[in-house]
Amino acid sequence: MSTAHMEVGVKRVIVVTAAAALVAATVAGPAQAGGSSAEPAAASRYVVLYKEGAAASTAQKAIEAAGGTVEKVNTAVGLATVTTSNAGFVAAIKDNAAIQGVAKDRVIGTAPKANRIAAGARAVNADRAVEKEGRGGGAIKHGRTTKAEPLSDLQWDLKQIRADKAHKYEQGDSKVLVGILDTGVDGTHPDIAPNFNKALSRNFTVDIPTDANGGEVDGPCEEEPDQSCNDANDVDENDHGTHVASSIASPINKLGIAGVAPKVSIVNLRVGQDSGYFFLQPSVDALTYAGDIGVDVVNMSYYIDPWLFNCTDNAADSPEDRLEQATIIAAAQRALNYAHRRGVTLVGAAGNQATDYTKPYTDTGSPNFPSVPGEAPRTRTIAPSCVSMPGEAENVISVSATGISKRKSYYSSYGNGYVDVAAPGGDTYDTPGNTRDVTKATLSAYPTSLAIARGELDANGDPTVDYLVKDCKGSTCAYYQYLQGTSMASPRAAGVAALIVSKYGIRDWRNGGKTLSPALVEARLKSTATKTPCPTPPAFTYTRHLPDGSTATATHLCEGSAASNGFYGKGIVDALRAVGR
């Protein structure tokens, strides 16, 4: 996962924590998210999960009897957004025979009067900050090549998975749709626009000005670049989603870089705020929408907030917290199952906690977003039975990250039986001297509007920082950003999955375009991956000489065989072999 709160941290992996829904778009008829008016002070918002098989009318009557008002329902999953002034709503509804679970929603608050903090300066969750680690330094001069893509020599990641060679035989099919569940996609970026499907793209969430403790999250709506907390479906005011989309499908157009599948179509399914928070209802809505419109592959480089790991029996949690986490697990899994049954291959990041998800873990960052005033993260011992959603969910392909030498990246979480495959996500310390080199991260598209807003350009429009690269074709210029994280590894695996659908897919009689069973896509992705054994010895020690002069070390134990292990799963994905060469 990459910017802000996003890149994936997770216990078993991926990136984005589970939590309750935000004010999202209605799914009963997918459409752009609605307005962002604040709730009355006395009202609370919840998401309520109907029991499978229960009649919607029965569940809604139970909600009304408990003092709730149903605002909208995702009928595919049976997840309702409810407002209520009844302080005892949870107690009144939780044991009803028609209700499986209930979770507090994260409600949009009142915009503060203080000046908005610049996006690049916001504090981020420590588990996800790795993607931005060490930002700064002067610009690096990069030469342009005479090849089809001028910055191709900087794309070590494509070479590692042989995507550059695969492009001679398969570049993807525009009828193959790849959904980007992320912070949004800059659909106007010159190296994304040719493959961007604006007509099908949707925004399922709304930015949050403040949290329940009065802290600034996304800032006043009127100070957003578009002066709105409800962004258009071709906007990314974070940068994470644009990087992910570009990694998958930047076209071969003699500008900048090429994606792994440079001819497939990108669909923006925005579920994350500018701040990088991802909540339950937007994720559920986006997944069911993806299944309904015939999306072939989705990338999920995040975890559902506010819980990095969701536990149903943790002694550190209150009964209401346990109910919330159980609701997140059940609702997210229903939505994932719905999409999977309708032909969507699900790909997710393994997380950036640098920990083994199959072992006990100490989580000090959850809940990371308060639902009531005074709520703060606390220390919890996490058992392997707890799950990070959607990364640890059923039917999700979990992807760990590799560096330029093919070693598992120092930040990447891992676990034998947790990681399915590996892909390049970057490792800025994967260098001969274990010192930081930003070019050992991965390079993908970056919104020009953010480069300007964050003061990263000089008067000529040239980058002043080492993590940005500019490329121009005639009068058209574009910017690219170096990021590292499992958030970056996941889309490269998703790109290979999109090539598989393009190569072997059949006609989709229901939605048009192509389709291929997710089970077949996953089997092909794994069987063609390059089997990569554990290091020798299997307890690998990472050494990093940090910019401040200090040294950090950490030892990670790789368990398993060459055919399947905790660092690489079934191996590092191979685009060339995946398309039959």
Closest-CA residue to 272 (of 106, 26, 69): 106
Return the structure tokens found at 270.
């925005």
CA quadruple 133, 137, 139, 141: dihedral, nearest 10? -90
Spatial distance between the Cα atoms of 300 and 350, rounded to a whole number of angstroms? 10
Before 306, cis peptide (omega within 30)? yes
536 three-state secondary structure: coil
Closest-CA residue to 148 (of 256, 4, 269, 69): 256
Provide the terminal-to-terminal Cα distance of the chain, rounded to the nearest Å. 30
Return the structure tokens found at 395.
């039917």
Return the structure tokens found at 529.
């991956």
Spatial distance between the Cα atoms of 60 and 69, rounded to a whole number of angstroms? 9
Closest-CA residue to 191 (of 297, 262, 260, 240): 262
pLDDT at 23: 27
pTM for this prediction: 0.89
Q: Diameter of the chain by CA atoms?
A: 69
Answer yes or no: are the C-beta atoms of 28 and 322 closer than 8 Å.
Answer: no
Name the β-bridge partners of 196.
266
Sign of the torsion formed by the C-alpha atoms of 297, 298, 301 and 307: negative
Spatial distance between the Cα atoms of 437 and 37, rounded to a whole number of angstroms? 45
Task: Please state, in angstroms and as integers, the Cα–Cα distance from residue 293 to each residue in 344, 501, 510, following that order.
Answer: 10, 16, 9
pLDDT at 20: 33
Determine what percent of the chain falls in helix, strand and coil, rounding each to the nearest 5. Answer: 20, 20, 55
pLDDT at 18: 31
Spatial distance between the Cα atoms of 426 and 444, rounded to a whole number of angstroms? 12
Before 390, cis peptide (omega within 30)? yes
Q: Which domains does the chain have, with CATH numbers?
A: 44-104 (3.30.70.80), 119-135+143-193+203-218+234-505 (3.40.50.200)
Q: Give the other-Cβ count within 10 Å of 105's Cβ.
A: 26
pLDDT at 375: 86
Q: Which helix (H) or strand (E) segment is 494 a member of?
A: helix 486-504
Spatial distance between the Cα atoms of 418 and 558, rounded to a whole number of angstroms? 12
Give alpha helix (H) positions in 342-480: 448-453
Answer yes or no: are the C-beta atoms of 178 and 185 closer than 8 Å.
Answer: no
pLDDT digit string (tens) for the chain, length 581 residues: 443 334 433 333 333 333 333 223 333 333 333 333 344 445 788 999 999 999 999 999 999 999 999 999 999 999 999 999 999 999 999 999 999 999 988 643 332 222 222 332 222 233 444 565 555 677 877 777 766 799 999 999 999 999 999 999 999 999 999 999 999 999 999 999 999 999 999 999 987 777 767 777 766 766 666 666 778 899 999 999 999 999 999 999 999 999 999 999 999 999 998 888 999 999 999 999 999 999 999 999 999 999 999 999 999 999 999 999 999 999 999 999 999 999 999 999 999 999 999 999 999 999 998 888 888 999 999 999 999 999 999 999 999 999 999 999 999 999 999 999 999 999 999 999 999 999 999 999 999 999 999 999 999 999 999 999 999 999 999 999 999 999 999 999 999 999 999 999 999 999 989 999 999 999 999 999 999 999 999 999 999 999 999 999 999 999 999 999 999 999 999 999 999 98
pLDDT at 581: 80
Sign of the torsion formed by the C-alpha atoms of 297, 292, 5 and 355: negative
As a whole number of Å, the CA-based R_g of the chain is: 22
Give alpha helix (H) positions in 39-187: 56-65, 89-93, 156-160, 163-166
Give alpha helix (H) positions in 420-465: 448-453
Return the structure tokens found at 188.
């106007």
